[in-house]
C-alpha cells in the first residue's frame, strides 16, 4: 500500500468555477489503493441520517417538541454509512446549541464510533455553538451496515426564552463524494419549558391602628405624621422544574378611597428586596403631596400614636360610614381606587435560593381619612391584589395557574374599636391575679399579727377556762370566752351554761 500526494492549486477544494482564482494552495490527495485501481480515483458516498429519540410530541410548527423540565435528556440518534469507495480522513461533526450540555454516548454505539468522539469545543465562528468531532477512520471503508450512535444532551439548563434548538450533523472526508447533499443533516427541536410559578403576598402587620388628631395634607410635614407604616412583601416562587428567565408581577395598589381621600400613601417606589429584577411605577403616584420622607430611625407608628392616649371621638361628617358597618376597601369591588405597577423578576431557577424573588412595598396609611370617614365602622379591611405572568413570549407552560394570583388583607383598627373590643393580654391578667393574691396574703399576715385569728380559737380557751373554773384557777381566759359568746356573767354563777 502506498499513498501518492499530488499538490494542485484550487483543483479540488475550491470547487468548480473557482479554479485559477487566487493563489491559494490546496491539496488533492490521490490514492494508489484498491479503490483507485479501477479508475485512478477513490470516490466515496457517505450518507448521514439523524433523528431525536424519545420525543413523541410534535410542536405547532411540526417539529419534534421537547419539554424542558419533563424531558431532561435530549437524545440524538446518528447514523452514518459509506455506500461507495473508501473515505479518507473521514470525520463526523455534530454541532449543537451551547444551552445543552453533552452527556456522552448511550450504550450500544457501533464499534467504529464508540470511542472515537472527542470533547465538545466551541465553534470558531459561532460562540453559541458547540462541536463534537468523531473520527470515522482513515480510510473509512464501505460498510455493510450503518454505524449508529445515540448522543445524550442534558437539557435542564435551557433558558425559557429559547424556543428552538438546532443541530447540524455533517460527514467530512478528503476525497470526493458522489452525492454531497446527503452528507449533512439539519435538525430542529422546538422547546417548551414546563414549570410552575407561584405568587404569595403577605403584610408584616395584619392590623394597623388609626387615631389621634386629624392632620390635613397641607399641615403634614413629616412622613410619620401621615399614619402608620404598611409593609407588604410579594414573593414569586419558581417551583420548577424549568428555569424561568423573566416573570412580570403586577400589583393593583389601592391609593385612595372612592371619595378621593388618600388611603395608602406611597412615598417611594417598591423595590426588589431579594433576587434579580426591578419595579416600574408611574412616578406621578409617588409622594404626590411632597411630604418629607423619613430617612433614618423611622417609626412604623404615626406620630403621637399610642393606643392609650386615644379618646373616643365623634365627628359629624357626611362621608362617615354608618355606625357599626363592616367596610372592605377593595379595587376589585369598586370600593377603592388603584394604580397598577409592575416588577420584572429575572433568572428564577428551580434551585434553592435561586428559586424566589421578593418585592417590598412600603406605604403609609392615611390616618386622617380613617378618622374622618371610618371612625364608627365596626371593621375596615383593605385588600391588595397581585398576579404573576410570564414576561416575554417564551413558550413556557405552567402546570398550575391557580397560584398565579394572590390577595393580601389587613384590618384598619380605630380608637373606638379597641376600646370596646380590644382584648387584654394574658400576662396582664396573670399579673393582676398574682397582685391580688399577694394583697390577700399581706392582709392575712397583718390580721394574724394583730391577733384577728385568735378569736377563732376561743373555743379551746373556753375548755381550759372551764377546767380552770372548776378548780378555781384563773379567770382571765374565761373572760375571753364570755366575750365571744356574749355571755353575761350572773353574780354567783361561775360556769358557762353551755358550750
Ligand atoms: Ca474507484
Ligand atoms: Ca454522499
Ligand atoms: Ca402557577
| Domains recognised in the chain with CATH numbers | 47-195 (2.60.40.1510), 197-420 (2.60.40.1530), 434-484 (no CATH)
Q: State in Å: Cα 6 to ligand 1 middle.
A: 17
Indicate which ligand has the atom closest to the C-alpha of 170: 2
pLDDT over 70 (residue 14): no
Q: State in Å: Cα 42 to ligand 1 middle.
A: 4
Q: State in Å: Cα 35 to ligand 1 middle.
A: 4
Q: Which residues surround ligand 1, an ion (CB under 5 A)?
A: 35, 38-39, 85
Indicate which ligand has the atom closest to the C-alpha of 198: 3
Cα–Cα distance list, 479 to 239, 458, 471 (Å): 92, 10, 16
Q: State in Å: Cα 387 to ligand 3 middle.
A: 10
Q: State in Å: Cα 149 to ligand 3 middle.
A: 39
Q: State in Å: Cα 137 to ligand 3 middle.
A: 52
What's the whole-number mean pLDDT along residues 228-245? 91
Q: State in Å: Cα 58 to ligand 2 middle.
A: 29
Q: State in Å: Cα 340 to ligand 3 middle.
A: 21
What's the whole-number mean pLDDT along residues 162-189? 95
pLDDT bracket for residue 315 (50, 70, 90): low
Of the candidate ranges 136-140, 170-174, 213-217, the one whose mean pLDDT is the lowest: 213-217
Of the candidate ranges 217-221, 393-397, 491-495, the one whose mean pLDDT is the lowest: 491-495
Indicate which ligand has the atom closest to the C-alpha of 31: 1
The candidate with the shortest Cα–Cα distance to 87, out of 136, 40, 134, is: 136
Helix axes 476-484, 458-470, angle to 10 degrees: 130
Q: State in Å: Cα 44 to ligand 1 middle.
A: 8
Burial class (CB within 10 angstroms; exposed 0-12, middle 13-18, buried 19+) of 201: buried
Indicate which ligand has the atom closest to the C-alpha of 238: 3
More confident residue, 266 or 69: 266
pLDDT score recorded for residue 424: 59
pLDDT score recorded for residue 156: 84
pLDDT over 90 (residue 285): yes
Distance from C-alpha of 284 to C-alpha of 218, rounded to nearest angstrom: 18
pLDDT over 70 (residue 132): yes
Give phi and psi for 406, each to the nearest 5. Answer: -150, 160
Q: State in Å: Cα 37 to ligand 1 middle.
A: 6
Indicate which ligand has the atom closest to the C-alpha of 197: 3
Q: Which residues contact 99 (CB under 8 A, 6 or more apart)?
A: 155, 157, 158, 159, 162, 165
Q: State in Å: Cα 435 to ligand 3 middle.
A: 55
- Under 8 Å between Cβ of 138 and 85: no
Q: State in Å: Cα 180 to ligand 2 middle.
A: 4
pLDDT bracket for residue 218 (50, 70, 90): confident
Distance from C-alpha of 303 to C-alpha of 292, rounded to nearest angstrom: 14
Q: Which residues surround ligand 3, an ion (CB under 5 A)?
A: 196-197, 398, 400, 403-404
pLDDT bracket for residue 309 (50, 70, 90): very low
Q: State in Å: Cα 443 to ligand 2 middle.
A: 113
Q: State in Å: Cα 184 to ligand 2 middle.
A: 8
Q: State in Å: Cα 189 to ligand 2 middle.
A: 24
pLDDT score recorded for residue 118: 95
pLDDT score recorded for residue 419: 47
pLDDT bracket for residue 462 (50, 70, 90): very low
Distance from C-alpha of 465 to C-alpha of 477, rounded to nearest angstrom: 6
Share of the chain above pLDDT 90, in %: 54
Q: State in Å: Cα 408 to ligand 2 middle.
A: 66
Q: Which residues contact 222 (CB under 8 A, 6 or more apart)?
A: 291, 292, 294, 303
pLDDT score recorded for residue 267: 95
Residue 209 cell numbers, joined = 391602628
Q: Which residues contact 71 (CB under 8 A, 6 or more apart)?
A: 54, 55, 155
Amino acid at each position: 500500500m502506498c499513498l501518492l500526494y499530488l499538490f494542485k492549486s484550487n483543483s479540488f477544494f475550491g470547487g468548480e468555477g473557482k479554479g485559477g482564482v487566487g493563489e491559494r494552495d490546496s491539496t488533492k490527495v490521490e490514492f494508489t489503493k484498491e479503490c483507485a485501481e479501477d479508475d485512478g480515483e477513490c470516490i466515496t458516498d457517505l450518507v448521514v441520517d439523524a433523528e431525536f429519540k424519545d420525543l413523541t410530541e410534535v410542536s405547532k410548527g411540526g417539529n419534534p417538541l421537547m419539554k424542558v423540565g419533563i424531558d431532561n435528556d435530549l437524545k440524538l440518534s446518528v447514523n452514518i454509512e459509506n455506500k461507495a469507495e473508501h473515505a479518507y480522513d473521514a470525520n463526523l461533526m455534530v454541532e449543537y446549541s451551547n444551552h445543552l450540555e453533552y452527556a456522552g454516548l448511550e450504550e450500544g454505539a457501533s464499534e467504529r464510533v464508540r470511542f472515537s468522539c472527542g470533547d465538545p469545543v466551541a465553534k470558531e465562528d459561532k460562540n453559541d455553538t458547540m462541536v463534537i468531532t468523531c473520527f470515522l477512520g482513515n480510510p473509512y471503508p464501505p460498510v455493510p451496515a450503518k454505524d449508529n450512535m445515540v448522543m445524550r444532551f442534558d437539557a435542564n439548563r435551557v433558558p425559557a426564552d429559547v424556543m428552538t434548538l438546532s443541530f447540524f450533523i455533517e460527514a467530512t472526508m478528503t476525497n470526493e463524494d458522489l452525492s454531497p447533499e446527503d452528507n449533512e443533516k439539519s435538525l430542529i427541536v422546538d422547546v417548551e419549558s414546563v414549570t410552575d410559578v407561584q405568587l404569595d403576598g403577605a403584610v408584616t402587620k395584619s392590623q394597623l391602628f388609626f387615631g389621634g388628631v386629624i392632620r390635613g395634607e397641607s399641615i403634614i410635614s413629616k412622613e410619620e405624621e401621615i399614619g402608620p407604616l404598611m409593609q407588604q412583601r410579594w414573593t414569586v416562587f419558581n417551583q420548577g422544574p424549568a428555569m424561568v428567565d423573566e416573570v412580570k408581577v403586577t400589583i393593583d395598589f389601592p391609593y385612595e378611597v372612592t371619595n378621593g381621600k388618600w388611603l395608602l400613601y406611597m412615598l417611594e417606589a417598591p423595590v426588589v428586596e431579594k433576587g434579580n429584577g426591578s419595579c416600574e411605577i408611574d412616578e406621578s403616584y409617588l409622594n404626590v403631596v411632597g411630604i418629607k420622607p423619613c430617612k433614618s430611625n423611622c417609626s412604623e407608628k404615626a406620630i403621637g400614636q399610642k393606643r392609650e392616649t386615644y379618646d373616643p371621638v365623634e365627628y359629624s361628617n357626611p362621608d362617615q360610614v354608618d355606625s357599626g358597618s363592616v367596610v372592605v376597601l377593595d379595587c376589585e369591588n369598586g370600593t377603592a381606587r388603584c394604580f397598577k405597577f409592575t416588577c420584572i423578576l429575572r433568572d428564577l431557577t428551580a434551585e434553592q435560593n435561586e428559586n424566589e424573588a421578593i418585592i417590598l412595598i412600603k406605604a403609609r396609611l392615611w390616618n386622617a381619612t380613617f378618622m374622618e370617614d371610618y371612625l364608627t365602622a365596626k371593621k375596615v379591611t383593605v385588600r391588595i391584589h397581585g398576579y404573576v405572568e410570564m414576561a416575554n413570549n417564551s413558550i413556557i407552560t405552567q402546570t398550575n395557574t391557580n397560584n398565579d394570583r394572590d390577595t393580601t388583607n389587613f384590618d384598619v383598627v380605630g380608637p373606638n374599636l379597641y376600646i370596646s373590643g380590644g382584648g387584654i393580654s394574658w400576662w396582664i391578667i396573670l399579673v393582676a391575679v398574682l397582685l391580688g393574691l399577694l394583697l390577700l396574703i399581706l392582709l392575712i399576715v397583718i390580721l394574724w399579727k394583730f391577733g384577728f385569728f385568735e378569736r377563732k380559737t376561743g373555743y379551746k380557751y373556753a375548755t381550759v377556762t372551764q377546767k380552770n373554773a372548776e378548780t378555781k384557777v384563773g379567770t382571765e381566759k374565761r373572760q375571753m370566752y364570755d366575750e365571744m359568746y356574749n355571755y353575761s356573767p350572773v353574780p354567783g354563777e361561775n360556769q358557762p351554761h353551755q358550750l
